[in-house]
Structure 1
Amino acid sequence: MSDPRDPAGRLRGRVTGSLLRDYLPGTASGRLFALSALTSSFGTGLFLAGATVFFTSQAGLTHVQLGVGLGIAAFAGLVSTIPLGALADRAGARSILVGTLLWRAGWFVALAFVQGPIAFAIAASCQTAAQNITGPVTQALVGGIAGQDDRTRMMAVVRTVRNIGFSLGALAATPLLLVDDIWVNRGVLIGNAAAFVVSALLLIRLRTPGPARTAAFRNPLAAFRAVIDWRYVALTAVNGVLTLHMTVLAVGLPLWVTGHHGTPHALVPVLVLVNTVVAVVFQVPFAKRVTDSRTATRALRLAGLALAGCAVSLSVPTSAAPLVSVLAALAACVLLTAGELWQAAGGWELSYAYAPVDRKNVYLSVFSLGAAVQDMVGPLMITGLVLARGPAGWLGLSALFAVASLLPGSVVRRLERGRAPAAACPAAVGTPAG
């Protein structure tokens, strides 16, 4: 506690208090939501740490069967996102998020007992069908809780909390995975399910604003025709290109390090640690500067430039000296993380700002498909087109990011001009839901 007679101490106290407030939700509802997010992400960390080992060693799956099953599940998640978004516009984002958490908890319990590829594919598909809607409805909920001036910072707080939860869950799973016992391994998946149930129970207590008047669709499939604004789809595509940073981190950097002679393989976990720590510490400071369309557009532009610089750093040839390769990898990791932070903040603000009020969840669901498509296409692109061509491939990727950095301004200007027409809902029929 600072001495009240010490001006410097009082100043330090005010600065510390201000920094702490930046990392905390500003309302009781926001803090409850953050606690729910921490709980569910802890469970996800448990699952991600031990799932692959469990399914191949205990559930009797080969690597090929695991890959095929996950591919089928990813497709199920992709096609279910927009219909679930339409349902969230009718039933409310909180109701859908609670329902999907409980649904996924049940299927995680089922995954703990699956045997064989068919049962795995069915259970994984049912779980993943509800997984992809989590991001859009979370964003819609945060927008309602935090309001226009604070929603992007609040999304950054939630993301930071989730990163912490993932790390704690993975850390908690590590000693369990050292025990080669099927019930211990099943306990990891069941623990994830339990965390989801607790997270859902916390959300039930969450107070949210009254629902906006929403568009009524004949059926969930009609929601696919609800997003006819090509400008919003263009924004989704630009953001999807920038989300390639996820595949560069997960696939590109590790393969780059192991492919450069003399570069220690132990550098890979160091790079992941650098990315995680920097993201946790700086996501909120980056996001708090994004408060409107202008600052969000600037954030996406900076994201593209940072990611272009990352790719240039990785154009160092395999014949480079080990020290040069290590420094290039570290520089690339820092630039990639900066691009990640700017992309997240800019994407949150713009996707919410230009989603019509009566179709908020549907539009946010469409926006999330940019990252989902990247998840499917990105690994093939990075391995088959970038890494396979060495420095030229990385320079080509840098050019792609540089072009992407030039597009947000043009797209946002067109979205601004199209704001009034976007309020109409030609795909909706019937009376608006109250």
Structure 2
Amino acid sequence: MLVIALVDRTGSGLWASVSVLYFTYVSGLSVAQVGTLAALAGAVGIAGAPIGGRIADRLPLTRVLIALQLLRALSSLALLTTDNYALLLTFSAAGSLGDRAASVLTKLYATRVSGPDRVRYQAVNRTVANVGWALGGLGAAAALALGTDAAYRWLLLGDALSFALAALLTLRCGEPPSPSRPVTGPAAAPTAKPANPWRDRTYLAYVATETVLFLDDAVFKVGLPLWIAHASSAPHGLAPLLMVLNNVMVVVLQVPLARFGSTTTAAHALLIPLSAAFALGGAAMALSATGGTVGATLLLTASAVAFTVAEMLHATVSWELSVALAPGTAQGAYLGVHGLAQSAQRSIGPLAATAAIAAGPAGWAGFGTLIAATCLLQHRMVRARLTRTPLSVPPVTVSEH
């Protein structure tokens, strides 16, 4: 599955950085049309997480993953066939739906395969995915140097082929045991109705706090570039360098940091230093507006480091708690609901970051403080639930090639 993650994210890296340019220069859409297409496709994609999780509790996980990869491949290929706005929107929405569902099911697969080692497995998976994104981004940059319609089309074709290859590789993966689909037959024990995450108030409240904690994503995609361009004296070229710093830190440090959250108790305790990292990131961003070029550059770099540490710590905490808080018989459904947090953040994150920029230094101080306080709220909220929930899942062994 790690090889699949590398192939998948390399293809996504080819397309993610040029999709807006493709729709603008190849499909001939206006800025408003491109923005609307991205927003509506993203909104449809939000449903992918809970739908995919629910289906994976009822059907073989690898087969569902293969179907989703093929859906993504066909959606990408279909974009090459038309410039009609309605069709482009339909195909983009289908691809977004498949992307969010596949993301949740990949996490579910890791949970079932790795058992108590799921945090380390996910850390390695995330490191591999970041390498894939970097490789795809480099490929896209090289192709864009040509500046032709054919170059854009080849990038989109590469994206589609990566999903098709991922589907073929998934065929070689063994199907992990599923507590939500017990053995059937005359000797099988009767099973209780699986838990419904939509009726689980504690889990829904946890997912709501997760939406806030995922806002670090908007810092690097929207907040830092705009803040550097409009409100600080740092050179504009610092923005892409901080993105590179973020990527390198994740690749180098995600796996080592994962050992600090290798159990549910340890992951729960990490919410305290996570709170501090978010607060420091917001404070450094706010202070960057008060100094000269050198001071602003140093403070923005410090902020990027703090938010990257927060990103890695939250990834570790989130992987463990989202599973530990879910009953084994409904892991797919629960992780699907948890996937809504990241999907929702993609919509509200840019708004939160631009609001912080509009409010000036106080806005960034408040931004960091809000997320830090949410970490502490989550720490308190889930404590009682964890005392009633098994703190690990039994290890399983499954063949994987």
1:236 corresponds to: 207
Higher deviation after alignment, 388-397 or 404-413: 404-413
1:159 aligns with 2:126: yes
Distance 1:66 1:114 in 2: 15
Greater RCO, 1 or 2 (C-alpha within 8 Å, sep 6+): 2
Cα distance in 1, alignment partners of residues 4 and 206 from structure 2 = 30
1:30 match: none
**Partner of 2:51 in structure 1?**
83
1:394 aligned residue (361, 364, 381): 364
Q: Does 1:328 align with 2:296?
A: no
Q: Deviations over 1:380-402 (max 9, x none)?
A: 12112x11110111121122122
RMSD over aligned CA atoms reads: 1.9
Q: Which amino acid aligns with 2:7?
A: T
Q: Structure 2 length normalisation: TM-score? A: 0.90
Q: Check if 1:304 corresponds to 2:275.
A: yes
What's the offset of the Cα at 1:410? 1.7
CA distance in 2, matches of 1:261, 1:157: 36
Conserved 8 A contact 1:111-1:120: yes
* Residue identity matched to 2:147: D
The structure 2 residue matched to 1:253, chosen from 203, 212, 224, is 224
Aligned match for 1:145, one of 98, 113, 120:
113
Render the CA deviation track for 1:354-410: whole Å, top value 9, x for unaligned: 2111111110011111111111111112112x1111011112112212212212332
Q: What secondary structure, in the 3-state scheme, does the structure 1 residue paired with 2:227 have?
A: helix
2:162 aligned with 1:195: yes
- Give, in whole Å, the separation in 1 of the partners of 2:347 and 2:232: 29
Distance 2:173 2:338 in 1: 25
Structure 1: gaps spanning 5 or more residues: 1-32, 216-222, 421-434
C-alpha distance in structure 1 between counterparts of 2:199 and 2:124, whole Å? 32
How far residue 81 of structure 1 moved from its aligned partner, in angstroms, is: 2.5
> Cα gap change, 1:302/1:95 in structure 2, threshold over 3 Å: closer, same or farther?
farther
Equivalent in the alignment of 1:17: none
> Is residue 14 of structure 2 the alignment partner of residue 46 of structure 1?
yes
* 1:193 Cα deviation from its structure 2 partner: 0.8
Q: Highest Rg: 1 or 2?
A: 1
Residue 142 of structure 1 aligns to which amino acid in structure 2?
A: A
Letter in 2 for 1:369: L
Q: Is 1:180 paired with 2:150?
A: no
What is the CA–CA distance in structure 1 between the aligned matches of 2:17 and 2:354, rounded to whole Å? 24
Q: What is the match of residue 112 of structure 1? A: 80
Question: Is the deviation greater in 173-182 or in 278-287?
Answer: 173-182
Q: Residue type of the partner of 2:274?
A: A
TM-aligned CA deviation for residue 226 of structure 1: 4.2
Contact 1:313 1:328 in 2 (8 A): yes
Structure-1 residue corresponding to 2:373 = 403
Q: What residue is the counterpart of 2:34 in the other structure?
A: 66
**Counterpart Cα distance in 2 of 1:116 and 1:262:** 43
Q: Secondary structure at the match of 2:100?
A: coil
Tell me if the contact between 1:85 and 1:137 (Cα under 8 Å) persists in the aligned partners. Answer: yes
Looking at structure 2, the residues matched to 402 and 126 of structure 1 have their Cα atoms a distance apart, in angstroms, of 35
- Percent identity among equivalent residues? 31
Q: Quote the offset at 1:292 in angstroms.
A: 1.6
In the other structure, the counterpart of 2:263 is: 292
Greater displacement, 130-139 / 346-355: 130-139
The answer (yes or no) to whether the contact 1:56–1:63 under 8 Å persists in 2 is yes
Q: Secondary structure at the match of 1:132?
A: helix
Unaligned runs of 5+ in 2: 183-193, 391-401
CA deviation after TM superposition for structure 1 residue 192, in Å: 0.9
- Contact 1:242–1:304 (Cα < 8 Å) also in 2: no
Deviation at 1:85, TM superposition (A): 1.4
**Contact kept in structure 2, 1:41 and 1:169, CA below 8 Å:** yes
